[in-house]
């Protein structure tokens, strides 16, 4: 019998530079921080408790949790044509949100495709600082 899942729980992306990635995700999405790595001067118990963050951060948003894990070397590059992640798609409430997102991305200097109509909705594609493919999706 197949496993029945009820929703998305979380996803963690491996990144090369946590400061650069945090700046991007916070500017683009404004996600709330759920957990973040403790400062260097934190006590050992706190560091141990938050070791699962690997020096990164986990954001909360209505769809679940999104983590950034800064363990990739600076020479490493994302490639959706390798085994693993193809892209991350975030749902938005309407096509109007996609149009507003175009303006937001333009203001932030984030390169993006135009809004595309696809079967059952519309998408807006762009990439994060590690070139990870991101998408916003509005159902029709």
CATH architecture group of domain 1-72: Roll (3.10)
Radius of gyration of the chain (CA): 17
pLDDT at 5: 80
Which 8-state DSSP code applies to residue 52? G
pTM of the predicted model over 0.75? yes
| Ramachandran angles phi, psi of 55, nearest 5° | 85, 10
Domain boundaries, the chain: 1-72, 86-140
Taking 50 as the pLDDT cut, the residues of the chain under it are none
pLDDT at 82: 86
Helix ranges (H only) for 2-135 are 18-29, 44-49, 95-108
CATH architecture group of domain 86-140: Roll (3.10)
Are domains 1-72 and 86-140 of this chain identical in fold? yes
Dihedral-angle region of residue 54 (phi above 0 means left; psi in -120 to 50 means alpha; beta otherwise): left
pLDDT at 123: 97
pLDDT at 104: 97
Helix ranges (H only) for the chain are 18-29, 44-49, 95-108
pLDDT at 22: 97
């Amino acid at each position: 019998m197949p496993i029945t899942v009820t929703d998305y729980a979380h996803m963690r992306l491996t990144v090369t530079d946590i400061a650069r990635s945090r700046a991007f995700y916070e500017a683009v999405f404004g996600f709330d921080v759920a957990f973040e790595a403790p400062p260097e001067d934190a006590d050992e118990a706190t560091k141990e408790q938050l070791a699962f963050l690997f020096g990164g951060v986990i954001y909360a948003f209505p769809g679940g949790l999104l983590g950034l894990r800064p363990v990739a070397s600076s020479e490493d590059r994302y490639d959706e044509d390798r085994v693993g992640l193809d892209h991350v798609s975030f749902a938005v409430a309407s096509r109007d949100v996609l149009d507003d997102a175009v303006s937001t991305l333009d203001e932030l200097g984030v390169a993006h495709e135009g809004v595309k109509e696809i079967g059952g909705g519309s998408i807006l594609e762009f990439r994060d600082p590690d070139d990870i493919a991101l998408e916003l999706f509005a159902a029709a």
